[in-house]
């Protein structure tokens, strides 16, 4: 997968959808604890720049891939959808 957690955990489910120049990263925290996410993003496989701004669609907050890293905090039983277009 072009997106991997820095520390793999069974309760973090990650899916990636992409088209040339666009990508969505969906993360589900299937646990009762808050998680600090640190994801390694292979931007070349996704057709994105190594540093790319986007939006987390549920909160509407901006997000950023910086030097191939995407970091966020996700609540218990939380879902985040990051869009880079």
- d(Cα 76, Cα 85) in Å, to the nearest integer? 27
Nearest to 68 by CA among 18, 24, 2: 2
At a CB cut-off of 8 Å and minimum separation 6, what does 52 contact?
Answer: 43, 64, 65, 84
- d(Cα 84, Cα 32) in Å, to the nearest integer? 28
Instruction: Please write the tens of the pLDDT for every residue from 20-71.
Output: 889 999 999 999 999 999 999 999 999 999 899 999 999 999 999 999 999 9
pTM greater than the 0.85 cutoff:
yes
- d(Cα 21, Cα 37) in Å, to the nearest integer? 23
Return the structure tokens found at 48.
């994105």
The percent helix, strand, coil of the chain (3-state, each to 5) is 5, 55, 40
Instruction: Please write the tens of the pLDDT for every residue from 51-61.
Output: 999 999 999 99
């Amino acid at each position: 997968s072009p997106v991997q957690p820095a520390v793999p955990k069974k309760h973090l489910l990650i899916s990636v959808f992409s088209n040339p120049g666009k990508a969505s990263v969906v993360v589900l925290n299937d646990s009762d604890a808050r998680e600090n996410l640190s994801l390694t993003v292979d931007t070349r496989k996704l057709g994105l720049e190594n540093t790319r701004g986007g939006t987390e669609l549920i909160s509407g907050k901006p997000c950023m891939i910086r030097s191939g890293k995407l970091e966020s905090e996700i609540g218990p039983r939380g879902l985040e959808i990051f869009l880079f277009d």
